[in-house]
Amino acid sequence: MQKMFQPIGVFDSGYGGLTILKSIVEKLPQYDYIYLGDNARNPYGSRSFDVVYQYTREAVMKLFSMGCNLVILACNTASAKALRTIQQNDLPFFDPSRRVLGVIRPSVEKVPFYTENGHVGILGTAGTVLSESYPLEIAKLYDDHLIVTQEACPMWVPLVENGEVNNPAADYFVQKNLTNLFRKDPDIDTVILGCTHYPLLIPAILKFLPNGVKILDQGPVIADSLKDYLSRHPEIDQKCSKYSTLQFLTTESVNNFEPLAGLFFGKTLKAQKIAL
């Protein structure tokens, strides 16, 4: 019988989603995965709603055409600006049996396990912050019980994408944005890294984060939530093949992608260039 290849698709505007994929593969190594980074058109953070939706939709359709029945938008900006439209407008028309999931809701569900005083800070791209997706999701789940303060960090993704996380410039911008955030609410006891690129900046963040403040890092959170989702949805789980393979795609040249991608993913990898 022919092997059915039905990988789980993991999409990000660039390298950031590799931090999520790394945690997912550690937790769920039996599945097949295709990672797609739209590095050629990154960053998405400052792009309009329509453009982020169009780019994300193209990526999702590409992953569907490669056999994925389940796609994770491992990108907060795409989750904020494109997920709902894809779920509500595209999937019913294209194929209602496929699923596209984001990273914002599962992160918000974990917040009560972190905060003790209810003061939560969100660090994200300008697009994610302006979309108000985090405050809206938090209000939906917890009414007015949490105090949410946001800070857009437009320089963080370019620093990460250019491999400059150990550069003093990274310290400068991380300190600047954290100072702004804690000036707006000095009582914050939990910060959500609301962009999948930011875990690469954790060493710099730790230099300037006030003592005792907890960091909600999305990798392990999304991996747990995906495991839970697949166990609650056997009909989707059955449509995800399990041969433990990993494939990496990028819209940029592989020579540009591979060295930095290996750093994000924690091991060297081979990629293929594709067009969307």
By CB under 6 A, tell whether 195 contacts ligand DGL: yes
By CB under 6 A, tell whether 57 contacts ligand DGL: no
By CB under 6 A, tell whether 12 contacts ligand DGL: yes
Helical axes 218-232 vs 17-27, angle rounded to 10°: 50
Site stretch for ligand DGL (CB under 6 A), options 138-146, 178-186, 195-203, 251-259: 195-203
Q: Please give the DSSP secondary-structure letter assigned to residue 40.
A: G
Q: Which distant-in-sequence residues (6+ apart) come within 8 Å of 106 by Cβ?
A: 221, 222, 225
Residue 159 exposed, middle or buried by CB count within 10 Å (0-12, 13-18, 19+): buried
Please state the closest distance from residue 218 (CB atom) to ligand DGL, in A: 8
Is residue 72 within 8 A of residue 18, CB to CB? The reply is no
Out of 6, 10, 13, 63, the residue judged to bind ligand DGL by CB under 6 A:
13
Name which of residues 62 to 101 contact ligand DGL (CB under 6 A).
75-77
Number of chain positions touching ligand DGL (CB under 6 A): 17
| Cβ-based nearer residue to ligand DGL, 80 or 240 | 80
Kindly name the residue from 68, 75, 153, 240 that is annotated as catalytic.
Answer: 75
| Cβ-based nearer residue to ligand DGL, 128 or 150 | 128
Catalytic residues: 75, 195
Q: Which residues bind ligand DGL (CB under 6 A)?
A: 12-14, 16, 42-45, 75-77, 125, 128, 157, 195-197
